[in-house]
Structures are given as C-alpha cells and as structure tokens.
Structure 1
Amino acid sequence: MSLTEQIIQEIDLLPPTELEVIYQEVARRMSNISRATKLLAKYRGKGRGIWSMDAQDYVKQLRQDTRG
C-alpha cells in the first residue's frame, strides 16, 4: 500500500472538525505552490541575451574549471 493510500485511510477515520483542519492546511499549501509557480513563470526567460553564453554551457565551464 502506498503512503498516499495509507493517509487516505487515516483521513477516513477523522471527525469532520479535524478534516476541516486538514483541508485548510492542504489548501494553504496548494495556494503557496501556485503562487510560487506563477512568480517563477513571470521571470522565466528574462535573462535571455544578457549572458554571452548559454547558461548550461556556463555551468559546465565552471565545473571544468573547479575540477581541473
């Protein structure tokens, strides 16, 4: 049985007042995730054209410099 299935079984045993507490906490966390995702999407790609090389190539070069 997966952890999710175990949690659902435990939730089934809770009284409505405790279910409400869990619902509120899950809703708060989902809202935080959604807000962070939207914020990050707003800035995605903004650095394009600023750097003289691709970001992945830059990271590879830094790794080679520190190892070599």
Structure 2
Amino acid sequence: MKFVLEVDMDRFVDDADKELGRILRFWGGNMEHYDLKPGDGSMVNNSEYQPVGEWRIVEVPETSAAPGRE
C-alpha cells in the first residue's frame, strides 16, 4: 500500500509553510479516525476550508515495490 498526499500549494494565499504545516498537523492528528485501507481518502482543505488537495491509500503492484523491500 501507499499513502499519497497531494496539495496544490499554488492555491495558498499567504504563508505557504504555515498552511502546509497546519494541513499536516490536522491530518496527522486525525489519522486514528481512518482505517487506512486501499480506497480510503479525503479532500484536504486549507484554513479557509477551501479544497487544496487530497490524500488517498492506494494499492501498489508487487513489481513497483520500493528498492530494498523485495
């Protein structure tokens, strides 16, 4: 499995580093509420509750395994 977080930082109005930090803290603090199984995911919002990305859990084919994980 792979955890994928995509955030369009061009959609941040100000303080991109603070906004991204807020998103990471918020998601990290709420991960206990998710099963984290393939297919799980959700939109990611900025501090103004506007969508700026998404996270998702995806299956990774065996041939795409990371180096050293064979």
Structure whose CA Rg is larger: 1
**TM-score, normalization: structure 1?**
0.26
The structure whose residues are more often helix, as a share, is 1
Higher relative contact order (CA 8 A, sep 6+): 2
